[in-house]
Each structure stands twice: as C-alpha cells, then as structure tokens.
C-alpha cells in the first residue's frame, strides 16, 4: 500500500483568530497521515523506535491553496513518492470534500539514537512496495 486516506476534523484550538486552521497544525496532520499509512501497511512505529531507529523530518514543502476552517471535516491523502536506502518521501493532499486545500511533500531520514544516518529497515521498504 503506497497511499492512505485519513479523516481529520478541524478543532477550535487549531484555528487562528480568523477561524482558519493555523499553518503550523498542517505539520501535525501530515504526521498523522504518515503514522496511519504506516499502520495500514502493517508497521508499528513504536516497535521501530524500540530497535533504535527513527524517521526524522529533513525537509518539508507545503503549498496552502485554500484555508480550512473550524469544524471542517477534511480528508488527508498521504502517499509514498520515493524510498531510498536511507530516506522516505511522502506527498500529501488535504481536501474538504472534493476541494483541494493544501499540497505538501516531506523527506524523512532514517537515523539512530545519536542522529547518525542508517539504512532504512527492510520491513519499511517491503511495506512500501
């Protein structure tokens, strides 16, 4: 499975004074999307951390097309766009019904507890096929 949809409802605490979803909250939504995609693939991030490997954000690109608002029910589509021996890249599309609100891309690096780049675990690569 290379793609997964997650439903997210915008909470009041996530909005700014204009009632729009605050730009910083999108990053948390993307993390939810990655976690749910990994879970749908049979992965368990907690177990991966227990082995001493972590996926850390190395780069984020986000394009805000239209605002999300308090109480909107959104669909976050998270997909794997590229995987290498040490990096994992995701693309995101955030929708309100059929209306595209945001697109984004992240690059994650696989590191150990000291932050040293490591090879991506084989089960992550296999789950992404």
Q: Which of 37-51, 74-88, 97-111 has the lowest mean pLDDT?
A: 37-51
Q: Is 0.75 topped by the overall pTM?
A: yes
Instruction: Judge: domain 3-127, CATH 3.60.15.10.
Output: no
- How many Cβ atoms from other residues are within 10 Å of residue 7's Cβ? 9
Residues 89-108 have pLDDT tens digits of 999 999 999 999 999 999 99
- How many Cβ atoms from other residues are within 10 Å of residue 63's Cβ? 10
d(CA 87, CA 57): 10
d(CA 38, CA 42): 7
d(CA 92, CA 78): 5
Return the domain boundaries, the chain.
Answer: 3-127
């Amino acid at each position: 499975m290379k793609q997964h949809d997650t439903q997210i409802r915008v909470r009041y605490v996530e909005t700014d004074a204009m009632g729009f979803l605050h730009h910083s909250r999108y990053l948390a939504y993307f993390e939810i999307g990655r976690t749910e995609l990994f879970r749908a693939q049979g992965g368990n991030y907690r177990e991966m951390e227990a082995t001493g490997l972590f996926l850390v954000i190395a780069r984020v690109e986000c394009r805000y097309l239209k605002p999300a608002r308090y109480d909107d029910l959104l669909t976050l589509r998270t997909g794997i766009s590229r995987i290498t021996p040490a990096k994992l890249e995701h693309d995101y599309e955030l929708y309100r019904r059929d209306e595209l609100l945001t697109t984004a891309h992240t690059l994650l690096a696989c590191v150990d507890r000291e932050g040293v780049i490591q090879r991506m675990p084989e089960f992550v690569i296999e789950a992404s096929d």
